[in-house]
């Protein structure tokens, strides 16, 4: 290895240029930690004519992947180009050439993480992807190193900055969904196509990765019950606020021993819950473990330099492993293949906003229905034409049953809003 270790970058966008800057700015500290210099030897780009905000020596940039993947001096490949198929192809080639891989690519890891980890192991290579979840928060290492001795039961996360920003603005300023989204795009948090943010898919990918590592189970993306924020009515934000909640897009993961529950849903969170204070584009992951109890990781979930710190920390870890002769030995391939939890295993409180006719009997009829099915109502608010209810903790199966029966009641015209409620004490 000598006194220099060569790194090849695939991609030079927001994260790639941040990686170059962190390596430059923190070179002395890194050299002290590692006893060697980290050198960006080749960088794969798509468009050689694009202006780039980084200073690199002549001959470093290339448009030919082979110049990076087949360079015998390069030990570590950093994939920050995004997309799935091409990135998968390049990473597989890197392993075959015995190069270690770091990626920030949540789409790729959510879809193919376990397969790539297996491939890495077969070639005695390292694969790290700290930057794929919650950018600047070292949550993956938090789970796989810091909390490795504990049994993690449950994770709740705000893992998408765009939607958190939108919901914060809707809640605090009464902004419309579209105005808040336009602002998030201007500020650069949203993906180029914000559909994945808004529909919850970006958060679902991150939750699949978190659940996999926390529960060592092969959680796939289809297992994540996903709902976005585009249809949230300001009325539900407002009623939620009056009842002591704040609306957040919450990723929820729970280990049920034989199965795993993972969802991403707009959730009314009690204002007393630590995640309720996470505002604007910030991310946070709240972890519940058998020994640790509750702990929360908070920070920026996106952005060039925060995300690049995660990538460069992975580079440091790989180099230390190379120095120790310990590459390819990380045990993050999932141990179990637990399926998705059944609706009768998934419990939560629920908020329901019913549209009702102006009839004195309707509240009594609705209350009786809940009583008959055995679900206590914790909060009820009657408004002209609307009935707002918060249930005790009940199963998703019970919720579906009661929703079907509610709409059959005379004077109940429909269910205008239905949200999971989390964070109430004693639930
Ligand atoms: N679009 C993502 C977000 C970027 O808003 O959180 C970081 O993955």
Task: Please write the tens of the pLDDT for every residue from 229-243.
Answer: 999 999 999 999 999
State which ligand 1 atom lies nearest to the alpha carbon of 206: 8
Cα of 161 to ligand 1 centre, how many Å?
A: 5
Residue 397, domain member (yes or no): yes
- What CATH code is carried by the domain that includes residue 47? 3.40.50.720
Cα of 174 to ligand 1 centre, how many Å?
A: 23
Q: Whose CA is nearest to atom 7 of ligand 1?
A: 302
Average pLDDT of the chain is 95
* Residues 290 and 170 reside in one and the same domain: yes
Per-residue pLDDT averaged across 85-106, rounded?
98
pLDDT band at 314 (very low <50, low <70, confident <90, very high): very high
For ligand 1, pick from 162, 168, 284, 285 the residue to mutate: most ligand atoms within 8 Å of CB: 162
Residue 332, domain member (yes or no): no
Cα of 59 to ligand 1 centre, how many Å?
A: 32
Residue 94 phi/psi, 5-degree rounding, is -60, -45
State which ligand 1 atom lies nearest to the alpha carbon of 203: 6
Tokens of 426: 């004693």
Per-residue pLDDT averaged across 297-311, rounded?
96
Residue 372, domain member (yes or no): yes
Cα of 184 to ligand 1 centre, how many Å?
A: 10
State which ligand 1 atom lies nearest to the alpha carbon of 197: 1
pLDDT at position 359 is: 78
Cα of 380 to ligand 1 centre, how many Å?
A: 36
pLDDT at position 291 is: 98
* Residues 116 and 215 reside in one and the same domain: no
Rounded alpha-carbon distances, angstroms, from residue 382 to 241, 277, 364, 366, 385: 16, 29, 12, 12, 8
How much of the chain exceeds pLDDT 90, in percent? 91
Residue 338, domain member (yes or no): no
Per-residue pLDDT averaged across 252-274, rounded?
97
* Residues 264 and 208 reside in one and the same domain: yes
For ligand 1, residues with CB inside 6 Å are: 135, 160-162, 189-191, 197, 202, 301-302
Cα of 300 to ligand 1 centre, how many Å?
A: 10
State which ligand 1 atom lies nearest to the alpha carbon of 190: 1
Residue 161, domain member (yes or no): yes
Helix, strand and coil percent figures for the chain, each rounded to 5: 40, 30, 35
* Residues 197 and 106 reside in one and the same domain: no
Residue 2 has pLDDT above 80, yes or no: no
pLDDT at position 427 is: 64
State which ligand 1 atom lies nearest to the alpha carbon of 307: 7
Residue 113, domain member (yes or no): yes
Query: Pairing between strand 152-158 and 245-255?
Result: antiparallel
Residue 314, domain member (yes or no): yes
Per-residue pLDDT averaged across 184-193, rounded?
81
For ligand 1, pick from 302, 304, 306, 311 the residue to mutate: most ligand atoms within 8 Å of CB: 302
For ligand 1, pick from 105, 134, 160 the residue to mutate: most ligand atoms within 8 Å of CB: 160
- What CATH code is carried by the domain that includes residue 413? 3.30.70.260
pLDDT at position 100 is: 98
- 46-50, 154-158, 199-203, 214-218: range with lowest mean pLDDT: 46-50
State which ligand 1 atom lies nearest to the alpha carbon of 191: 1
* Residues 189 and 210 reside in one and the same domain: yes
Residue 336, domain member (yes or no): no
Residue 373 has pLDDT above 70, yes or no: yes
Rounded alpha-carbon distances, angstroms, from residue 255 to 252, 285, 289, 338: 10, 16, 11, 9
What is d(CA 215, CA 262) in angstroms, rounded to the nearest whole number?
A: 11
Please say which residue of 324, 358, 378 terminates a domain.
324
* Residues 314 and 384 reside in one and the same domain: no
The yes-or-no answer on residue 28 being catalytic is no
For ligand 1, pick from 104, 105, 197 the residue to mutate: most ligand atoms within 8 Å of CB: 197
**Domain total for the chain?**
3
pLDDT band at 426 (very low <50, low <70, confident <90, very high): low
3-class DSSP assignment, residue 80? coil
pLDDT band at 107 (very low <50, low <70, confident <90, very high): very high
pLDDT at position 300 is: 96
Cα of 317 to ligand 1 centre, how many Å?
A: 24
How much of the chain exceeds pLDDT 70, in percent? 99
Cα of 303 to ligand 1 centre, how many Å?
A: 8
Q: Whose CA is nearest to atom 8 of ligand 1?
A: 302
Question: How far does the chain reach from its first CA to its final CA, in angstroms?
Answer: 55
pLDDT band at 1 (very low <50, low <70, confident <90, very high): low
* Residues 44 and 125 reside in one and the same domain: yes
Q: Please compute, for residue 374, the number of CA atoms within 13 A of its CA located in the half-sphere on the CB side.
A: 4
What is d(CA 305, CA 299) in angstroms, rounded to the nearest whole number?
A: 12
* Residues 362 and 316 reside in one and the same domain: no
The residue annotated as part of the active site, out of 41, 99, 106, 206, is 206
Nearest to 217 by CA among 251, 157, 259: 259
Tens-digit pLDDT profile for residues 7-31: 999 999 999 999 999 999 999 999 9
* Residues 123 and 146 reside in one and the same domain: no
* Residues 72 and 16 reside in one and the same domain: yes
Per-residue pLDDT averaged across 398-412, rounded?
96
* Residues 256 and 175 reside in one and the same domain: yes
For residue 350, give its domain range. Answer: 343-422
* Residues 143 and 126 reside in one and the same domain: no
């Amino acid at each position: 290895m000598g006194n220099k270790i060569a790194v090849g970058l695939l991609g030079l966008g927001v994260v790639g240029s941040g990686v170059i800057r962190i390596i430059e700015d923190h070179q002395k500290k890194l050299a002290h930690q590692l006893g060697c210099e980290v050198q960006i030897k080749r960088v794969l780009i798509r468009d050689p004519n694009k202006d780039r905000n980084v200073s690199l020596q002549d001959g470093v940039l290339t448009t030919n992947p082979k110049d990076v993947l087949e360079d015998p001096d390069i030990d570590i490949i950093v994939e920050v180009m995004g997309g799935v198929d091409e990135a998968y192809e390049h990473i597989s080639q890197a392993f075959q050439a015995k190069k270690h891989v770091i990626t920030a690519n949540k789409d790729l890891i959510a879809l193919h993480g376990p397969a790539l980890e297996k491939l890495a192991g077969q070639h005695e290579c390292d694969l790290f992807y700290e930057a794929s979840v919650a950018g600047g928060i070292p949550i993956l290492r938090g789970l796989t190193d810091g909390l490795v001795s504990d049994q993690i039961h449950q994770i709740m996360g705000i893992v998408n900055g765009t939607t958190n920003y939108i919901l914060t603005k809707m809640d605090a300023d009464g902004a419309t969904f579209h105005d808040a989204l336009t602002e998030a795009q201007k500020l650069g948090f949203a993906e180029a196509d914000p559909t994945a943010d808004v529909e919850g898919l970006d958060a679902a990918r991150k939750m699949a990765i978190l659940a996999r590592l926390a529960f060592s189970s092969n959680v796939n993306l289809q297992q994540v019950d996903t709902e976005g924020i585009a249809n949230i009515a300001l009325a539900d934000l407002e009623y939620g606020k009056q009842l002591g909640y704040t609306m957040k897009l919450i990723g929820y993961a729970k280990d049920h021993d034989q199965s795993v529950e993972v969802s991403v849903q707009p959730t009314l969170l009690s204002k007393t819950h630590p995640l309720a204070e996470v505002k604007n584009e910030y991310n946070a992951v709240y972890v519940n473990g058998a020994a640790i109890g509750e702990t929360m990781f908070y920070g920026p979930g996106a952005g060039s330099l925060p995300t690049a710190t995660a990538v460069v920390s992975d580079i440091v870890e790989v180099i230390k492993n190379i120095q120790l002769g310990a590459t390819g030995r990380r045990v993050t391939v999932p141990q179990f293949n637990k399926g998705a939890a059944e609706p009768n295993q998934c419990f939560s409180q629920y908020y329901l906003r019913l549209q009702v006719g102006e009839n004195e009997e309707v509240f009594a009829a609705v209350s009786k229905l809940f009583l008959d099915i055995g679900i206590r109502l914790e909060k009820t608010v009657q408004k002209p034409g609307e009935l707002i209810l918060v249930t005790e903790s009940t199963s998703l199966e019970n919720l579906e049953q009661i929703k079907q029966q509610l709409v059959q009641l005379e004077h109940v015209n429909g269910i205008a809003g239905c949200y999971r409620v989390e964070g109430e004490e004693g639930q």
